[in-house]
């Protein structure tokens, strides 16, 4: 990272929903070569976005996107993550930093959702087990997607919490976050800390439901 900017790289974002699109736009706005992956890269709403907010971003299959990216982002629905990895081909993730921006949400009982994976496991851990030769870092899952890039809050900027087993990968993700405008990032440990980060998402959703607004985050105060 030089002059506060992450060196330009190829980025693959697997998942073309709101989370994936926002992250793809963020990386593209910083000058990176971005491909967004979908099971159906020709679907109408994705093509419409590519001609609007996604101008300059390519679309491909999950396998094409995983091959394209030097850095990869998983941004599909949480319970579809392992299927997306299978579709993309685990070998295409080998040696790469993989940002897990997902939460395993279960809305079967209505709102607020529960976690579909909890206790002595987490989605972050399942992703790392599915990708033993990749370096998975949990990030972005405790904040609303409108605030992923250039976050602005009237009460000050919240803290971004990350977790993962590889220290160098976490430094890379911290650089990404700094480039996106996050001045306060805290590493809370190995990938098993995804259990706490995914639980924080449920708290974030409940707070949003109680407030009727989603412009909030969690701030770590020290001292």
**Region 10-22 average pLDDT:** 98
* Beta-strand pair 33-37/114-115: unpaired
| pLDDT at residue 206 greater than cutoff 70 | yes
Answer yes or no: is pLDDT of 109 > 50.
Answer: yes
Helical H runs in 32-147?
44-50, 62-68, 81-88, 123-130
CA angle 189, 194, 197 (to 5 degrees): 100
Residue 47 per-residue DSSP state? H
Give tens-digit pLDDT for 167-180: 999 999 999 999 99
- CB-CB contact of 54 with 25 (8 Å): yes
Neighbours of 29 (CB within 10 A): 14
| Torsion of the alpha carbons at 146, 62, 68 and 162, rounded to the nearest 10 | 40
Instruction: Return the pLDDT at 68.
Output: 98
Opening angle at CA 105, ends 103 and 109, nearest 5: 165
Cα→Cα distances 96→26, 159, 172, 215, Å: 19, 25, 11, 32
Q: What pTM was estimated for this model as a whole?
A: 0.96
pLDDT in tens, 49-68: 999 999 999 999 999 999 99
Tell me the per-residue pLDDT of 30-49, one tens digit each, with 9 for 90 and over. 999 999 999 999 999 999 99
152 versus 26: the higher-pLDDT residue is: 26
Residue 181 DSSP class? T
Cβ atoms of 188 and 160 closer than 8 Å: no
- Name residue, tokens 């904040």: 143
Which band of pLDDT confidence, cut at 50, 70 and 90, is reported for residue 200?
very high
Query: Does residue 208 surpass a pLDDT of 50?
Result: yes
pLDDT of 186 higher than 80: yes
Rounded distance between C-alpha atoms, residue 162 and residue 41, angstroms? 30
């Amino acid at each position: 990272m030089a002059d506060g900017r992450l060196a330009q790289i190829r980025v693959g974002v697997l998942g073309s929903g709101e989370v994936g699109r926002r992250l793809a736009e963020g990386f593209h706005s910083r000058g990176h070569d971005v491909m967004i992956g979908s099971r159906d890269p020709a679907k109408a709403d994705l093509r419409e976005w590519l001609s609007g907010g996604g101008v300059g971003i390519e679309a491909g299959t999950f396998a094409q996107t995983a091959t394209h990216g030097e850095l990869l982002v998983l941004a599909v629905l949480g319970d579809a993550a392992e299927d997306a990895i299978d579709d993309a081909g685990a070998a295409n993730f080998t040696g790469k930093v993989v940002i897990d921006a997902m939460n395993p949400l279960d809305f079967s009982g209505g709102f607020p959702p529960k976690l579909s994976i909890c206790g002595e496991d987490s989605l972050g851990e399942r992703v790392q087990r599915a990708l033993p030769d990749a370096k998975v870092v949990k990030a972005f899952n405790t904040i609303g997607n409108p605030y992923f890039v250039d976050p602005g809050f009237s009460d000050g900027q919240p803290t971004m919490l990350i977790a993962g087993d590889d220290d160098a990968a976490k430094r890379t993700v911290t650089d990404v976050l700094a480039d996106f405008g996050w001045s306060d990032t805290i590493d809370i440990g190995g990938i098993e800390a995804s259990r706490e980060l995914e639980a924080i998402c449920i708290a974030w959703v409940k707070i949003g439901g109680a407030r009727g607004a989603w412009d909030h985050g969690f701030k770590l105060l020290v001292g």
